[in-house]
Structure formats: C-alpha cells, structure tokens
C-alpha cells in the first residue's frame, strides 16, 4: 500500500507538468482558492511529515524536512499567482483582439504584472517566469523592466540569445558601452558570427556620430578609430563590399580621403552594383576638384571633375536617379567640359521636381554658359542668385558671365563679393589681379 507522502509527491509532479495555458483557459476557480490551496498543501505536507520530525535523529534531518515544506509552499504559490496573472493577461488580449471595449483592461494588465512579480518572489530562479515578465513589460513599453528581467535571465542561464537581446536593449536605452560588452560576450559564444562583429562596429559608429553632434570631437574620433580597427579585422577575413563602404565612410570621417577613395574603388571592383560607393568616390573627386580650383590649379581641378563625372555616369545613365544626384552629375560634367548636352538634360530633369532650387538653376546657367549661350546663362544665374542669396560660387559664376559680356566693372564687383564670402579662393583672387 502506498503511503500519503507518495500521493502528495505525485500530485505535485502532476501540477508542475500540467500545461499552464490549459489551466488558464479551463479554470473557473476564484483566485483566492489558489492561494488557499498553496497554504493547504503546506499544511498537508506538515501533517504527513510530523512523525518524521518526531523521529528525526539530528537537526540536519529536521532542516531538510523544513526545506521540503517551503519548497512545496513556494511551488504552490508560484503557480497560484502565475495562473491568475496569465488569466488576466489572456482576457485583456482576447478582448482587445476581438475589438471589444473593456474598461478594466488597464487595471487588469497591471494587476497581471503585479501577480507575476509575486510569482517571482517565490521562484526567483525561474528563467521562464523572468522571460514572461520581460514579454509583458515589453508590451507595456517598460524597457527598464525588460532589461531588469534579462539581467536576471543572464545570471540564471546565459546564452547567445540573451547576450544579443540584452545588447539590443542597452542600445535602445543609449548605453553603448554595456551593449558592446554584451555583444563581445555573444561573439565569444559564437566566434564565427560576423553579423555580431559588424553590429559592434555599427555601435561604435553611432556613438561617434552622437558625440560629434554634441561637440565632443575627440571622443568621436576615438569611436571611429575603434570601429575601423574592428572593421579591418572583418575585412582581413572576408573582403565584402559592404565592409569596404563602411571603411571608406570612416576614413572620410577621419579626414583620410585617399584611403577612403581606395576603399570605395575596391568596393566597386567587388560589387559593380554598389551605387553608394560610386557616389561617395565621386564626391571625393569633386571635393578634390574644388580644392584644386580654389588653389588656382584649373587643369588639375578639371581632371578630378572628370573622374567624378565618370563615376556618376555609372549611376545615372538613364535620368532615373534622385534630383540631387542628377544635379550633381550635371554640374561636374559642366566643370569638366564633358557631355554638356547630356548634362543639360539631367539638370532639367532635376528641375521638374524642384523648380525653385537655386543650386539646380545655377547648374543650368553654368552649362548654358559653357555651351556659349551667355545671355540665357546670365538670366538663369541672376535668378539663382535672387533665390539663393549670398553664395560664393554663384557670385563667382555671375562675375565670369559679366566678364564674358565685356561688363568688367560688374564682373569686378561680383568677384570682390565672392572673395568676401570665401577669402581663401585663390582662383577668384587671380581673376581680380588680372583686371588690375
């Protein structure tokens, strides 16, 4: 014959293995009954083990029985609170999904959270309960509570998923150092996961941008350097166009334009469809052209503009790009004296979407000037100046047109104005010197 203690253990085992969703959906018992059940189970175990306590040969035996008693109590109360919590949450979810008005929904969902917290008081080492706690608080937008839950889960059962989740949560709450720490732990668990390594690079980049926006340029530079060092390790293992594009951006941010240009060219050679690499490389060549032009080196400037134009023609061959890219391509074609008719068609396409853009109108005027349509060019660039206000480049263009028309005094005034706006432009200084 089986004794009472055996049947109690069987009952507890059944309780622990019973599907909670089924219990939540089927139970009609009042919540207080669950609490009372937990208490009764504790008392029952006490009665069953009374004789054992009396016959205990040592204090350690007695302590063991007490621990068993508390374990049963904690298990019973954990389930009681959890079942009630789950019932309330499921009721709210059901009513919301069925689009029914439920005035007590807010109270019920927060009561559900409170009861779940009570469950955790009795079972603080349950990863499952902490996961449930994280989920419900996530639905409520209580991110700090979700982080608290995952920090407990991390201590109980660390895993790759937990490291990643906690890292993402730290990112969300603007704690990049803690996020990187979790991602580094994740990398140790999965050393071959390049996605995790790239995520660390991205966190450093984002932190660098944020620091720069706040004026902390020294810290920003250190973050960009860390990002590039991590990225170089990825590139050594696999030369992906995406990695090289990011490296090029970092080199630009660190004012290392030659290395940036090399990264973009390599990215293009790996993936000829990587349009961002063409655009960024083209902008570097264009900036080099601007620098050469301002330094009074027009031939070097023209060569750089031509290189920029060649790259952009790979991106906008059929006039289907964004207006800004169409204008940029048209302008550098004009500066390199190449494909002026095509350049005109590009900027006119851009103007269809933004008829009052002073930069686009200036580009059209400059192309017309290069094509010899000086009067029409003057009309366009005067209009661009009216719309754009004081701009050294547009004022310089206006000076060139007046000089071409033989109106030297007007040209001089425009170049002097341009020089006041950009005092380091040697090219404009040279034009003024020639007039003297």
Q: Residues 366-378: pLDDT tens digits? A: 999 999 999 999 9
Other CB atoms within 10 A of residue 217 CB: 11
What pLDDT sits at residue 322? Answer: 85
What does residue 18 show for φ and ψ, rounded to 5 degrees? Answer: -70, 135
What pLDDT sits at residue 1? Answer: 41
Do residues 308 and 280 make contact, with C-beta atoms less than 8 angstroms apart?
no
Q: How far apart are the first and last CA of the chain?
A: 122
- CA–CA gap between residue 272 and residue 32 (Å, rounded): 69
Using CB atoms within 10 A of its CB, is residue 423 exposed (0-12), middle (13-18) or buried (19+)? exposed
What pLDDT sits at residue 9? Answer: 34
Please give the DSSP secondary-structure letter assigned to residue 57: -
Domains and CATH numbers, the chain: 9-47+64-123 (no CATH), 302-436 (1.25.40.10)
Separate counts of helices (H) and strands (E) for the chain: 23, 0
**At CA 231, angle to CA 225 and CA 233, rounded to 5?**
115
Please give the DSSP secondary-structure letter assigned to residue 321: S
Q: Please identify every stretch of the chain with a pLDDT value under 70, giving residue numbers as ranges.
A: 1-106, 317-321
Do residues 75 and 16 make contact, with C-beta atoms less than 8 angstroms apart?
yes
Using CB atoms within 10 A of its CB, is residue 32 exposed (0-12), middle (13-18) or buried (19+)? exposed
What pLDDT sits at residue 114? Answer: 80
């Amino acid at each position: 014959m089986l004794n009472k203690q055996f049947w109690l253990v069987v009952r507890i085992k059944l309780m622990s293995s019973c599907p909670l969703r089924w219990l939540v959906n089927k139970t009609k018992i009042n919540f207080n009954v669950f609490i009372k059940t937990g208490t009764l189970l504790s008392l029952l175990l006490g009665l069953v083990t009374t004789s054992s306590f009396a016959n205990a040969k040592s204090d350690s035996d007695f302590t063991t029985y007490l621990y068993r008693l508390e374990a049963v109590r904690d298990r019973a109360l954990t389930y009681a609170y959890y079942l009630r919590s789950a019932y309330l949450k499921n009721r709210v979810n059901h009513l919301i999904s069925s689009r029914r008005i439920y005035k007590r929904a807010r109270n019920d969902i927060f009561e559900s959270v409170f009861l779940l917290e009570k469950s955790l008081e009795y079972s603080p080492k349950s990863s499952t309960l902490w996961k449930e706690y994280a989920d419900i608080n996530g639905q409520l937008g209580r991110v700090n509570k979700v982080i608290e839950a995952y920090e407990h889960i991390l201590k109980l059962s660390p895993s790759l998923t937990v490291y990643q989740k906690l890292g993402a949560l730290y990112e969300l709450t603007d704690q990049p150092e803690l996020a990187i720490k979790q991602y580094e732990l994740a990398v140790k668990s999965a050393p071959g996961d390049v996605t995790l390594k790239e995520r660390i690079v991205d966190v450093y980049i984002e932190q660098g941008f944020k620091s720069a926006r706040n004026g902390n340029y020294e810290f920003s530079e250190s973050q960009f350097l860390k990002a590039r060092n991590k990225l170089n390790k990825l590139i050594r293992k696999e030369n992906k166009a995406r990695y090289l594009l990011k490296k090029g951006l970092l080199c630009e941010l660190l004012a290392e334009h030659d290395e940036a240009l090399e990264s973009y060219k390599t990215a293009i050679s790996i993936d000829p469809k990587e349009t961002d690499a063409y655009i960024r490389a083209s902008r570097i060549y264009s900036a080099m052209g601007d620098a050469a032009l301002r330094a009074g080196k027009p031939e070097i400037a023209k060569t750089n503009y031509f290189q920029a134009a060649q790259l952009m023609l790979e991106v906008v061959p059929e006039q289907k790009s964004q207006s800004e890219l169409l204008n940029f391509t048209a302008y550098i074609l004009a500066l390199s004296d190449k494909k002026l008719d095509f350049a005109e068609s590009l900027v006119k396409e851009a103007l269809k979407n933004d008829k009052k853009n002073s930069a686009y109108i200036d580009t059209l005027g400059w192309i017309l000037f290069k094509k010899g349509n000086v009067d029409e060019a003057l009309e366009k660039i005067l209009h661009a100046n009216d719309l754009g206000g004081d701009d050294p480049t547009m004022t310089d263009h206006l000076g060139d047109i007046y000089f071409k028309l033989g109106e030297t005094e007007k040209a001089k005034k425009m170049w002097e104005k341009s020089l006041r706006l950009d005092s380091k432009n040697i090219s404009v200084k040279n034009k003024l010197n020639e007039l003297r």
